[in-house]
Amino acid sequence: MSAPTYQETIAALERYWADYGCVVMQPYHTEVAAGTMNPATFLRCLGPQPWKTAYVEPSIRPLDGRYGENPFRFQHYFQYQVVLKPAPENVLDVYFGSLEAIGIDLRKHDVRLVEDDWEQPTLGAWGLGWEVWCDGMEITQWTYFQQLGGLELDLIPAEMTYGLERLTMFLQGKRTAFDLEWAPGVTWGDVYRESERQWSVYNFEKAPVDVLTRHFNEHEEECRLLIGERLPLPAYDQVLKCSHTFNLLDARGALSATERAAYIGRVRNLARSVAQLYVEMETDGDAAL
Amino acid sequence: MATLLFEIGCEELPAWACREAEVQLPGLCERELGRRPDELLLGPRRLAFLVRDLPERSPDEWVKGPPEHMRQQAADGFARKQGVAVADLEVREGFLGITRPGRPLAEVLPDRLDAIVQSLTFSKSMVWEAGGLRFARPVRWRLAKLDAADIAGDGASYGHRFTHGRVEAPEAEAYAETLRAAGVEPNQAVRRAAIVAGLDAIGGWSDPVGVLEEVVFLVESPVVLAGRFDERFLQLPRRVVETAMQSHQRYFPLEGGRFAFVANGGDPETVIAGNEQVLEGRLEDASFTFERDVAKGIEQLAEESGRITFVAGAGTFADKAARLLALVEALGGGEASLEAARLAKADQAAELVREFPELEGHIGAEYARLAGFPEGVCAAIDEQYLPEVAGGPLPSTEPGRVLAAAEKVDNLTVAFALGERPSGSRDPYGLRRAAIGLCRLALEAGLELDVSALVERDRALLVEQGAEVREDPADVADFVLERLEGLLDVPVEFLRAARAGATTELGAVARLAETLAREATSDSFERAYVAYDRSNRLAGRADGAAAALDPKLATEEAEVALIDALGAASPRIEAAVQARDFESALAAAAELGPPVDRFFDEVLVMAEDESIRANRLRLLLEVRDAVGALGDLSQIPR
């Protein structure tokens, strides 16, 4: 049997986690640097309600682009995100089951959990966990969240973030992501290489610094207004827009070390306020999500 | 007597957590069970210990009650409280009481073992159920066997995660062999020996970053394997290849394009192929980055470092390089160190340094080499951050030592100028280590370091460059000199005395302190001390000294004699201190001792005539200052 294509691997993960009982979601509609920032993870992990979800998320990181020249670095790639809140006692076994479901023979390979703690300062979030190695390849970032938006959590979720390119490189035995077979006869490179080139030009050379600077301020302002209106969900989108705008400014080399820290602090404050409002409304029961 | 086995079953613990448990478990075990464990068995999925010869009952306990003479008033209440009849009370050493018989070990163990689990603490811990136990990683099972009996849990342990599931040990002593049969080596020393033996069998292995101790705790079923990578990657800087192997993958470099690693199972051929592909991917990624940097070349990188902030408020890395150049010049550095200073921060603009931040300096040196710079220049760039830890090796080349000193002076000056002095345990910029590095460069490498002058020069440069100098960094010199206290085998008073002397150069202050300490019981020290101390005690506190000494105002013979002695000794002290011949300086200063004594015996300093009095006070101040070139001797306890 030949190795599964990129899209078949995604389909197998969707099937496995749907069967487990997850709500299978779709990617979020605004740019995020990681699946964690999707409200289906960040907001749903707050408050007292149990939640299980799985979804593909494009990870947008302007600074990591290399004009499509380096087949290991991209400004746009994909994660498969799974959240189980609260983490069941057999959560690791359930996770390892997903590896078997996509065709990894756990006895034939060397699968290991290597300490890797996670922190996302712009979201005031941290957790402890591992990177999962399969024959030395990091295929998943695995985290027990401890705080989000600076808040302690009512239920401790487990977050499993599969790096879809690395995982399928491993499954297909391919050296680079460009060589991955996305669908029969079509490679990942066919689909995204030119996109990497054009977006790298935009991110590093063309993105208008003055406009972005203004946008950041506007998104921040709008976020505060929406918090005042007790609308944490739209407010959170403004946090995401601030975060992405900051990433673009950073890629443009427009920020000094002090400015970077200040921007990160501003995003973190917004994330914290939204998280507090969200929890408050969840707990009062006046938010119907 | 019974044997106890206790196992705390965990999700994969970090290596440091296993080591922290290793330190705590013996004490906790002693506290809760009265005995230290005979064996500790620690690995990523289990913290276990075995205690032999445990008494099967806990010892009887004497519960002391009221004194016997209070029997009338208090016996009843005490007996009721203890749930016994008054008739059952015993008397020991004049007190009523009862003997509470010991309980079977099996009964007390669950609480005691739980206390051990609850008491383990980790430098970083987590919860996996809100409000639940804090531990380094989730605890998923507990196994406690007292000989063949199960005390806690359901008697199950778990073997290798993927090849063996649940296992049961028939008795405590059979724990290790049960696990071995289930693909787990529970003993860390055995695992370590197996790994080293495996590496030795392959041969030619190295561990420059030091990952062996971590690897011992990354596997339960160690299998040592070797792989290859394309030799074209050997064109990368060696330490880049090593770091990719070691820090990222925990591999052990072998010679040529080969590496060894330790797997936790799997089919060897499959596992080797996978790891080879991963390493090649990492090296290829590093090659892309390396080639982009090399295409730019070190000169262009140096230019681009002018766009990267060193520290907010203190300019860019190009600004820093300009300051280093001036400091190296002030230190009398030669051609190679000047060139190295100019290029020292170029690699801050290199992409490869962003990927491998721990290799800053080293990567710059490689790029300088590729650009054809002389080896002395490259070595100095490489060595600028040494010593990496306070006691670590110093730069091995002269240009490296000079550049390393300039680098440290600038880091200290910038931090102090920005108001970021270290306080208490807060020292985010490693300034204490930098200061110790400077001291060691002076003491061990003989570098001439006049810290005050260097800091002043650096401060002036910062101002010229438009940096935000918020505070005067002059106290850097004291901060550095204070570090000498921990490095010299001299009581601190001598160092404090020497720091007040005429010499400010770091190595000279150290030698002066050593001379004073060595001579502290000699006659010449005693006489110099007397001269300093008597003149300082009187004139140092009195007002009204004349602006300058006028020998013509001397009226007494002893006074004239002291002026003559001062005239003879003073230039000799000064010259000897200048030449750092502190013994001769001390000998010259000692000559002032007797004339000072005679002066105090025969002359009334506080003469009625104001001008004579003022002149005598000036004379004493001059004596004090002449001897004071050797330091503030009053700091030294007599």
In a domain, B373, yes or no: yes
Is the CB of residue B406 less than 8 Å from the CB of residue B467?
no
Q: Mark whether A157 and A50 lie in a shared domain.
A: yes
Distance from CA of A226 to the nearest CA of B (A): 30
| Parent domain of B248 | 188-290
In a domain, B501, yes or no: no
Distance from CA of A257 to the nearest CA of B (A): 6
How far apart, in Å, are the Cα atoms of B295 and each of A63, B290, B382, B383, B595?
21, 9, 20, 24, 75
Instruction: Give tens-digit pLDDT for B44-100.
Output: 999 999 999 998 888 788 889 999 888 888 889 999 998 888 888 889 989 999 988
Q: Mark whether A105 and A38 lie in a shared domain.
A: yes
Q: Mark whether B31 and B136 lie in a shared domain.
A: yes
In a domain, B225, yes or no: yes
Specify the 3-state DSSP secondary structure of B145: strand
Encode burial over A265-275: b for 16+ CB neighbours within 10 A, e otherwise: ebbbbbbbbbb
Of A187, A203, A219, which residue constitutes the final position of a domain? A203
Q: Mark whether B142 and B202 lie in a shared domain.
A: no
Q: Evaluate if residue B125 carries a pLDDT over 90.
A: yes
In a domain, B444, yes or no: yes
Q: Is B217 on the interface with A (CB under 8 A)?
A: no
Q: Mark whether B387 and B320 lie in a shared domain.
A: yes
CATH of the domain at A170: 3.30.930.10
Instruction: Please report which confidence band the pLDDT of residue B112 belongs to, taking 50, 70 and 90 as the band edges.
Output: very high
Instruction: Please report which confidence band the pLDDT of residue B308 belongs to, taking 50, 70 and 90 as the band edges.
Output: confident
In a domain, A270, yes or no: yes
| Parent domain of A48 | 6-203
Q: Evaluate if residue B307 carries a pLDDT over 90.
A: no
Q: Evaluate if residue A115 carries a pLDDT over 80.
A: yes
Q: Mark whether B258 and B283 lie in a shared domain.
A: yes
Is the CB of residue B495 less than 8 Å from the CB of residue B472?
no
Specify the 3-state DSSP secondary structure of B1: coil
Which residues 247-306 of B are in CB contact (within 8 Å) with A? Answer: 249-250, 261, 263-267, 270-271, 273-275, 277-281, 284-285, 288-289
Distance from CA of B247 to the nearest CA of A (A): 12
Helix %, strand %, coil % of chain B (to 5): 55, 10, 30
Mapping DSSP onto H, E and C, the string for B208-250 reads CCCCHHHHCCCCCCCEEEEEECCHHHHHCCHHHHHHHHHHHHC
Quote the number of domains for chain B: 5
For the entire predicted model, the pTM comes to: 0.82
| Whether the bond into B387 is cis, omega within 30 of 0 | yes
When pLDDT is averaged across residues B162-168 and rounded to a whole number, the result is 94
Q: Mark whether A156 and A193 lie in a shared domain.
A: yes
Q: Mark whether B92 and B23 lie in a shared domain.
A: no
Contact at CB, A135 and B274, closer than 8 angstroms: yes
Q: Mark whether B434 and B553 lie in a shared domain.
A: no
Q: Is B14 on the interface with A (CB under 8 A)?
A: yes
Q: Is B470 on the interface with A (CB under 8 A)?
A: no
CATH of the domain at B435: 1.10.3210
In whole angstroms, give the CA distance from residue B44 to residue B67: 55
Kindly tell me the sign of the dihedral angle through the C-alpha atoms of A87, A99, A161, B217.
positive
Q: Evaluate if residue B444 carries a pLDDT over 50.
A: yes
* First vs last C-alpha separation in chain B: 64
Is the CB of residue B616 less than 8 Å from the CB of residue B603?
yes
Whole-complex ipTM? 0.94
Which residues from chain A sit within 8 angstroms of residue B274, using beta carbons?
109-110, 134-137, 170
In a domain, A83, yes or no: yes
Q: Mark whether A36 and A157 lie in a shared domain.
A: yes
Quote the number of domains for chain A: 2
Chain A residue with the nearest C-alpha to that of B265: A110
Q: Mark whether B206 and B245 lie in a shared domain.
A: yes
Chain B residue with the nearest C-alpha to that of A128: B126
In whole angstroms, give the CA distance from residue B226 to residue B201: 11
Q: Which amino acid is at A66?
A: R
Instruction: Please report which confidence band the pLDDT of residue A288 belongs to, taking 50, 70 and 90 as the band edges.
Output: very low
In a domain, B499, yes or no: no
In sequence order, what are the beta bridge partners of B174? none
Distance from CA of B29 to the nearest CA of A (A): 27
Higher pLDDT among residues B83 and B254, named by residue: B254
Of B433, B465, B487, which residue constitutes the final position of a domain? B487
Instruction: Give tens-digit pLDDT for A253-271.
Output: 877 777 888 899 999 999 9
Q: Mark whether A270 and A195 lie in a shared domain.
A: no
Q: Mark whether A221 and A161 lie in a shared domain.
A: no
The beta-carbon neighbor of B12 closest among A113, A134, A258 is A113
Distance from CA of B324 to the nearest CA of A (A): 21
In a domain, B498, yes or no: no
Which residues from chain B sit within 8 angstroms of residue A159, using beta carbons?
none
The beta-carbon neighbor of A253 closest among B162, B281, B307 is B307
Contact at CB, A146 and B12, closer than 8 angstroms: no
Chain A residue with the nearest C-alpha to that of B283: A72
Most B CBs within 10 Å, among A66, A100, A110, to test the B interface: A110
Q: Mark whether B357 and B464 lie in a shared domain.
A: yes
Contact at CB, A144 and B128, closer than 8 angstroms: yes
Q: What's the pLDDT at A289? A: 47
Q: What's the pLDDT at B138? A: 98
Q: What's the pLDDT at A286? A: 55
Contact at CB, A69 and B127, closer than 8 angstroms: no
What is the largest distance, in Å, between two alpha-carbon atoms of chain A? 58
Q: Evaluate if residue A1 carries a pLDDT over 60.
A: no
Return the beta strands (E) in chain A as ranges: 23-24, 51-60, 76-85, 111-115, 118-120, 125-134, 137-148, 151-152, 158-163, 181-183, 186-187
Contact at CB, B274 and A66, closer than 8 angstroms: no
Q: Mark whether B475 and B382 lie in a shared domain.
A: yes
Q: Mark whether B222 and B145 lie in a shared domain.
A: no
In a domain, B542, yes or no: yes
Q: Mark whether B164 and B177 lie in a shared domain.
A: yes
Which segments of B104-174 does DSSP mark as H helices, in order?
105-119
Of A203, A228, A255, which residue constitutes the final position of a domain? A203
Average pLDDT, chain B: 93
Residue by residue, DSSP assigns B185-210 as: ---HHHHHHHHHHHHHHH-S---SS-
CATH of the domain at A226: 1.20.58.180
Instruction: Please report which confidence band the pLDDT of residue A71 belongs to, taking 50, 70 and 90 as the band edges.
Output: confident
Q: What's the pLDDT at B278? A: 93
In a domain, A35, yes or no: yes
Cβ contacts below 8 Å, chain A against chain B, sum to 109
Which residues from chain A sit within 8 angstroms of residue B44, using beta carbons?
113
Which residues from chain A sit within 8 angstroms of residue B320, using beta carbons?
none
Q: Mark whether B52 and B122 lie in a shared domain.
A: yes
In sequence order, what are the beta bridge partners of B224? B262
In a domain, B506, yes or no: no
Is the CB of residue B89 less than 8 Å from the CB of residue B62?
no
Specify the 3-state DSSP secondary structure of A162: strand
What DSSP character marks residue B102? P
Q: Mark whether A115 and A168 lie in a shared domain.
A: yes
Instruction: Give tens-digit pLDDT for B314-364.
Output: 889 999 999 999 999 999 999 999 999 999 999 999 999 988 888 999 999
Most A CBs within 10 Å, among B10, B12, B45, to test the A interface: B12
Average pLDDT, chain A: 94
Of A181, A203, A225, which residue constitutes the final position of a domain? A203
Sort residue A60 into left (φ over 0), alpha (ψ -120 to 50) or beta: beta
Residues of A at the B interface, defined by Cβ within 8 angstroms? 66, 69-73, 86-87, 89, 92, 96, 106-115, 117, 127-128, 130, 134-137, 144, 146, 152-156, 169-170, 173, 175-176, 253, 256-258
In a domain, A85, yes or no: yes
Which residues 502-561 of B are in CB contact (within 8 Å) with A? Answer: none
Which residues from chain A sit within 8 angstroms of residue B284, using beta carbons?
71-72, 175
* First vs last C-alpha separation in chain A: 44
Q: Evaluate if residue B8 carries a pLDDT over 90.
A: yes
Contact at CB, B279 and A108, closer than 8 angstroms: no
